[in-house]
Amino acid sequence: MLFLHGSGPGATGMSNWSAVLGDLSDDYYCLAPDVLGFGDSTHPNPPPQGLAAFTTARVDSLIALLDVLGLERVTPVGNSMGGIWSLELARRVPDRLDKIVLMGSGGAPIPAGPSIPALAGFYEKPSTEAMTALLEAFVYDPSLFGSELRQVAERRMAHVSRPDVARSHVATFAGLNASDPWSLTPDDVAAITHDVLIVHGREDRFVTFDSALWFFEHLANARLYGIGKCGHWTQIEQHQRFVTAVREFLAGQL
């Protein structure tokens, strides 16, 4: 299983997926890399400008990763922007993928959610307070987390403040039009014939539930699992439901 994180400031493989790796790694070989331009991976200098160009570079690097590790087939589990990379892998190297799990996936021709501008423009005024507000927007009910989101924000700031991390983030979102973001076309998506599990929080403020409905309509072999009272972090907010759904999907029971 290839776990692909999202694009929030400071996002890494472990920051997105540590909550579920322990549940799945006993039965599956799990990879959760820092994708190109994130975390401790390489940060190109100068970086590709804009979502389309950086997506191409990132998918190139993921294909190279599979080659280096000798992995013939994987099931990507893509969160948010990681869903875009998963779908691009399916288009470019379909024989290298088994199934696909999309969680709060971007890439549909749907206006971005109301919290995307704060994420994309984080480095205009970066601060612990701004990071805390961003993390609170990821979840349906921040009060359930007490002071945990503030603590996570404080821990992330040292990483977020790195010049290479900031440079890659700003380049990724260069020229973003939140009302008409870069997306896959209906023909792009219709050509994907893999079994796909779409998991999406109904109250997602970053990638709205309309995106999940669009993917469900256009992906030939899709299952849609919508979860109410849930935001963008299904794997954390609805941890057990997410893990159970993924297990049943991989076992052919969903």
On whether the CB atoms of residues 62 and 86 are closer than 8 A, the answer is: no
**What confidence category does residue 240 fall into, taking pLDDT thresholds of 50, 70 and 90?**
very high
Q: Which of 183, 204, 211, 218 is catalytic?
A: 204
- Give me the pLDDT at residue 179, please: 85
- What SS3 class is residue 110? coil
98 is catalytic: no
- Give me the pLDDT at residue 119, please: 97
- Which residue segment(s) compose the domain that 41 sits in? 2-251
On whether the CB atoms of residues 104 and 204 are closer than 8 A, the answer is: yes
Structural domain count, the chain: 1
**What confidence category does residue 178 fall into, taking pLDDT thresholds of 50, 70 and 90?**
confident
pLDDT at 254 over 90: no
- pLDDT tens track for 203-233: 999 999 999 999 999 999 999 999 999 999 9
Query: Across residues 152-174, what is the average pLDDT?
Result: 96
**What confidence category does residue 120 fall into, taking pLDDT thresholds of 50, 70 and 90?**
very high
Percent of the chain exceeding pLDDT 70 equals 100
Tell me which long-range contacts 139-145 makes (C-beta under 8 A, separation of at least 24). 139/231, 139/232, 139/233, 139/236, 139/237, 140/201, 140/203, 140/229, 140/230, 140/231, 140/237, 141/229
- Give me the pLDDT at residue 206, please: 98
232 is catalytic: yes
CA separation, residue 37 to residues 5, 40, 176 (Å): 12, 8, 17
- Give me the pLDDT at residue 175, please: 94
Residue from 166, 45, 10, 17 nearest 103 by CA: 17
Percent of the chain exceeding pLDDT 90 equals 96
CA count, 13 A, side-chain hemisphere, 9: 37
Which tokens is 3 given? 């776990």
Element (DSSP H or E) covering residue 55: helix 51-69
Q: Which of 7, 80, 168, 211 is catalytic?
A: 80
On whether the CB atoms of residues 39 and 13 are closer than 8 A, the answer is: yes
* CATH number, domain containing residue 107: 3.40.50.1820
- pLDDT tens track for 39-83: 999 999 999 999 999 999 999 999 999 999 999 999 999 999 999
Alpha carbons 146 and 142: distance in angstroms, whole number: 7
169 is catalytic: no
SS3 content of the chain, % helix, strand, coil (to 5): 50, 10, 40
**What confidence category does residue 110 fall into, taking pLDDT thresholds of 50, 70 and 90?**
very high
CA separation, residue 69 to residues 33, 73, 220 (Å): 12, 11, 30
Query: Across residues 91-120, what is the average pLDDT?
Result: 97
Answer yes or no: pTM beyond 0.85: yes
